[in-house]
Amino acid sequence: MIIFMQLRVNVTEFCIDFNCMKIPSSLLGFFNEIGAASRFVSRYFQEVVQPRYEVKQFIKQCFLIGYRSLPLIGITGFIMGLVLTMQLRPTLIAYGVVSKLPVMVSLAIVREIGPVISALIFAGKISSSMGAELGSMKVTEQIDAMEVSGTNPFKYLVVTRVLAATLMLPVLSVLSDAIGLYGSYLGVNIRDHTSLSLYFFEVFNTLKFGDVLPAIIKTFFFGFAIGIIGCYKGYNSSKGTEGVGRAANSAVVISSLMVFIIDLITVQITDVLGLN
Amino acid sequence: MAKETLNNIKLGIFISSGLLILIVSLYLVGRNQNFFGSNFYVRCRFSNINGLIAGNNVRFSGIQAGTVNQIQVIDDTTIEVTLLIDKKMKPYIHQNTYATIGNDGLMGNKVINLTPNMVPAPEIVDGGLLYNKKKPYTDEMMETLSNTNNNVEVLSRKLISTVEQINNSHALWSILNDTTIPKNLNVSLSNIKEATVRINDMSAVITDIAKDIRDGKGAAGSLVADEKVANDMKQAVAHINNAAQESEVMVARIDSIVKQVQQDINNGHGTAHALLKDTMLVSRLNNSMSNIEKGTAAFNKDMEALQHNFLTRGYFKKEAKKNKKAMKE
């Protein structure tokens, strides 16, 4: 721990001599970040199960994170469904399988596009706001003030936000899927005519649990990653307004990247389980 | 406080709608995969399942009936497929129902089609084994399609050469480009039409005539139907035959006479020779004929004088009146 603390202090230098080895400071900075983030995550899991539970704050965060994000994610989902349908249609016509349009669009939206696009929009909106909000609180020493007043700032600020993000993104993703499929239905009806019941019959005739459940489960991980990265970046932002901006920016970038990494891992797992 | 309550309500609606959509979706997906409701198992065996996997649909006469539950290799030529079928379909699936592996569309997933057999059989039991029926697989169909394509290619090549020949035919194009042909054709058609009408009329008339003849009406009818006329005809024909025989005899006689005359002429004997060959006789005859003409003219003058003579004039007037009366009658 002492060595780790020393390393954290000296990472600003170009490189350090560690057991007669020249290690670049960027690599040390990376490991330092990983270590700090791991500690942050482990503290989260400790705090989330321990009473006292900040239920009111949690519900408030659910409202702010989930409900307030619905219009943005809903519009995105609708446009994605519509555009995907209109883009796929000429190709399917070329192969003479235009009747399979609901099948292809539903699989694309439910398995991949719905969860990933929702998560990316969610990361852009929520992760940056968390980073900026907690960063501002850190800069203005509100977090320190909370500690002094006896309130656990981690539980009050971080746990509630991360938990709300973890639980709200699946709900948003399901709603985004539904809105996207409706957008796709309208996209089909721009050129052809299909009844709503026939369209959704085709959709649900295609989908299997192997398509729906992994997609829903991975959104919990997306939500958790977005929440924890946003909170970590804000909670550990450096002093000054520049630090707040950097925290918000890096929160968005890293959480977006994490969404894709988690998606990659999920695809591998579902492939191994034979769900693809 | 009121705002917080309102926010809570909004959040509740948001979460409930999300969960409701999720639950409904999962239910619909599960219902299609027979996760809910009561099911039973049926087995069928194939030598080649052609890419069928667990989870593929099972259809009974085109109706979604269940899903493929499990695929097991029994031996090197037998693969056993276990089907999970909706219990509602059980009364309709009999022990002799055929199971075939098909495609959902040309490029779709594999499906198992259950086809009922017309021969009556007991209802299938849980875990029962169905018959399988080999259907032509896509590869076989593609092979047939390839052969058909080759035939089409040959046909199209021949068709192209035929079309080229037609295109290069000057005679055909001159006929096609001739604008008078359609007019002439129209005229010909109208003539044919008129002729047809006339032929129809004629045939009607001929039919009437034939009917009249059959009924014995008219000369032809009496000729055909009247026995007396037929006998007369026979007699007439017999007379004609006799006349022909007699004329033959007569012609033979005339022939012999002509020959005799010819002989006399050649030998310088007889009247014919004198008439045809003797110039003196001819000049005498001419003189005699001119004397007769002169005599006749003088006789005519005498007769004219008699008509004007008061002694004979009455007789001639009487004769003239008698002739007039005869002419009037």
Minimum mean pLDDT range among A124-128, A139-143, A213-217:
A139-143
pLDDT at B211 > cutoff 50 = yes
CA distance A177 to A73: 10
Query: Do the beta carbons of residue A60 and residue A101 sit within 8 Å?
Result: no
CB proximity B7 to A under 8 Å? yes
Minimum mean pLDDT range among A155-164, A215-224, A242-251, B271-280:
B271-280
pLDDT at A3 > cutoff 70 = no
Question: The whole model's pTM is what?
Answer: 0.58
Over residues A212-232, mean pLDDT:
93
Where is mean pLDDT largest: A82-86, A191-195, A269-273, B6-10?
Answer: A82-86
pLDDT band per the 50, 70, 90 thresholds, residue A9? very low
Share of chain B above pLDDT 90, in %: 16
Query: Do the beta carbons of residue B264 and residue B273 sit within 8 Å?
Result: yes
Over residues A208-236, mean pLDDT:
92
Over residues B164-183, mean pLDDT:
84
**Main-chain phi, psi angles of A17, to 5 degrees:** -95, 105
The full set of domain ranges for chain A reads 1-46, 56-272
B 36-55 → A contacts, CB under 8 A = 55
Give me the total of CB pairs closer than 8 Å, taking one residue from chain A and one from chain B: 73
pLDDT at A263 > cutoff 90 = yes
Query: Do the beta carbons of residue A32 and residue A7 sit within 8 Å?
Result: yes
Query: Do the beta carbons of residue B66 and residue B83 sit within 8 Å?
Result: yes
Query: For all residues of chain A together, what is the average pLDDT?
Result: 86
Token output for A273 = 């389980």
pLDDT at A2 > cutoff 50 = no
pLDDT at B36 > cutoff 80 = no
Whether residues A95 and B15 touch (CB distance < 8 A) is answered with no
Share of chain A above pLDDT 70, in %: 91
Over residues B30-34, mean pLDDT:
73
Query: Do the beta carbons of residue A123 and residue A248 sit within 8 Å?
Result: no
Residue B66: its pLDDT value, please? 86
Residue B135: its pLDDT value, please? 66
pLDDT at A57 > cutoff 50 = yes
Query: For all residues of chain B together, what is the average pLDDT?
Result: 85
pLDDT band per the 50, 70, 90 thresholds, residue A5? very low
Pick the more confident residue, B224 or B127: B127
- DSSP 3-state of B74: strand
Residue A147: its pLDDT value, please? 85
Chain A CB contacts of B35 below 8 Å? 209
Residue B263: its pLDDT value, please? 84
CB proximity B23 to A under 8 Å? no
Token output for B264 = 């006399």
pLDDT at A8 > cutoff 50 = no
CB proximity B22 to A under 8 Å? yes
Per DSSP, what are the bridge partners of residue B81? Answer: B44, B71
Per-residue pLDDT tens over the stretch B119-151? 888 888 888 888 877 766 667 778 888 999 999
Over residues A107-114, mean pLDDT:
93
pLDDT at A14 > cutoff 60 = no
CA distance B70 to B54: 6
Over residues A27-41, mean pLDDT:
87
Residue A70: its pLDDT value, please? 92
Whether residues A175 and B18 touch (CB distance < 8 A) is answered with yes
Instruction: Check if the interface score ipTM surpasses 0.90.
Output: no
Per-residue pLDDT tens over the stretch B97-108? 889 888 876 666
Per-residue pLDDT tens over the stretch B46-91? 888 888 888 788 889 888 888 888 899 988 888 999 998 888 888 8
- DSSP 3-state of B102: strand
Over residues B252-271, mean pLDDT:
82
Where is mean pLDDT largest: A193-202, A248-257, B55-64, B309-318?
Answer: A248-257
Nearest CA in chain A to B34: A208
Cβ count near B175 (within 10 Å): 10
Residue A19: its pLDDT value, please? 55
pLDDT band per the 50, 70, 90 thresholds, residue A81? very high
Query: Do the beta carbons of residue B107 and residue B65 sit within 8 Å?
Result: no
Minimum mean pLDDT range among A3-7, B32-36, B111-115, B172-176:
A3-7
Residue A18: its pLDDT value, please? 54
Min Cα separation A60/chain B (Å): 8
The DSSP-derived string for A159-225 is: IHHHHHHHHHHHHHHHHHHHHHHHHHHHHHHHHS---HHHHHHHHHHH--HHHHHHHHHHHHHHHHH
Of A97, A171, A212, nearest to B18 by CB-CB distance is A171
Chain A CB contacts of B26 below 8 Å? 209, 212-213
Amino acid sitting at position A13: E
The full set of domain ranges for chain B reads 33-136, 278-308
Whether residues A171 and B32 touch (CB distance < 8 A) is answered with no
Mutate to test the interface with A, among B19, B22, B31 (most CBs of A within 10 A): B22
User: Cα A245 vs. chain centroid, distance in angstroms?
Assistant: 19
Residue A22: its pLDDT value, please? 67
